[in-house]
Amino acid sequence: MNWIILIIAGLFEVGFAACLGKVKETSGSEMYYWFTGFLASLTISMLLLMKATQTLPIGTAYAVWTGIGAVGTVIVGILFFKDPVSFWRIFFIATLIGSVVGLKAVSH
């Protein structure tokens, strides 16, 4: 169950990074709405990470959480923020995914 909580926490990390990107692109009241989404996503992500680390090793949980966030943020950046796509970006994202899966596989 805590692995599911950790995955959800990682998805909320992607959410707060995406909101931060939108804060940069907007102004006025729209900026404050995105900033509110950033704060809410950040809070939920941290609380879920804290819950997951009650039974999972902190090093593994943190690495998986940041891995999900990094991969998800790159994908969101490519799809919504027109970030560049190159062979090496995709290659290293794939190796990061393999590392996260490996950490899950060797954890108790």
- Written as one string, the DSSP assignment of 27-63 is -HHHHHHHHHHHHHHHHHHHHHHHHHTTTS-HHHHHH
Using a 10 angstrom Cβ sphere, with 0-12 exposed, 13-18 middle and 19 or more buried, the burial of residue 46 is middle
Confidence band, pLDDT 50/70/90 cuts, at residue 23: very high
Confidence band, pLDDT 50/70/90 cuts, at residue 8: very high
The residue among 1, 34, 5 whose CA lies nearest residue 17 is 34
CA–CA dist 37, 26 (Å, integer): 13
CA–CA dist 9, 49 (Å, integer): 6
* Whether residue 108 has pLDDT greater than 90: no
**Predicted local distance difference test score (pLDDT) of residue 104:** 82
Residue predicted with more confidence, 100 or 70? 70
* Whether residue 103 has pLDDT greater than 90: no
Confidence band, pLDDT 50/70/90 cuts, at residue 35: very high
